[in-house]
Amino acid sequence: MKQVNKADFDDTSSEGSASLKERAQEFLQRAYRLQMSGHLNEAIENYKKSIEVLPTAEAHTFLGWAYSFLGDYESAIAECRNAIDLDPDFGNPYNDIGAYLIQQGELDEAIPYLELAMKAKRYATPHFPHYNYGRILERRGLWFEALGEYKTSLDLEPNYSLAKDAFYRLQALLN
């Protein structure tokens, strides 16, 4: 699950910019809460308001995430690309594009994005791209390599249940 917090926004010396960041953050937080409660259209509108106030990589990424809940992967990927344009060091949009491409069955196209996510300088959840890459490897029948990626994901976040389930399920198949 994604988290949004004030640390995601850079500090500023200008009071006017600070109030814009606070307004953008308020819309972003409201959008996230709406999305988590299943109100996707309202969430999308609030993500867009956040971007109107102050475009950030986070808001574009989360807007893309909301579009993905609707199955609109084209818009989701476009928003992630907007995020990358704003902050190429932010890891979330790379992983998200990879995940959306996996959902569409475009495994080869997903790999470079997952690799970029793994190398991202600013990424609070680096276990996600390892899990997603493991999914690709598993689908290709590269089970030991997939186990390695699931294990790396678990090393980075021991409580990540998707990676834990995939690791133990695949390990049981191989025994």
Could you give the domains of the chain? 1-110 (1.25.40.10), 126-175 (no CATH)
Residue 175 has pLDDT above 90, yes or no: no
C-beta separation of 127 from 154 below 8 A:
yes
| Alpha carbon distance 28, 18 (integer Å) | 15
d(Cα 32, Cα 145) in Å, to the nearest integer? 35
Token pair in block for residue 160: 């990540």
Count Cβ atoms within 10 A of the Cβ of residue 3 and give its class: 0-12 exposed, 13-18 middle, 19 or more buried. Answer: exposed
Mean pLDDT of 121-145: 97
Give the predicted TM-score (pTM) of the model. 0.87
Residue 12: is its pLDDT beyond 50?
no
Q: Read off the pLDDT of residues 54-67 as tens digits, 9 standing for 90 and up.
A: 999 999 999 999 99
Q: So what's the pLDDT on residue 56?
A: 97
Q: Please write down the long-range contacts of 111-120, taking CB distance under 8 Å and 24 or more positions apart.
A: 111/136, 116/91, 117/91, 117/92, 120/89, 120/90, 120/91, 120/94
For residue 65, give every residue at least 6 positions away whose Cβ sits within 8 Å of its Cβ, in sequence order, or none. 2, 35, 76, 96
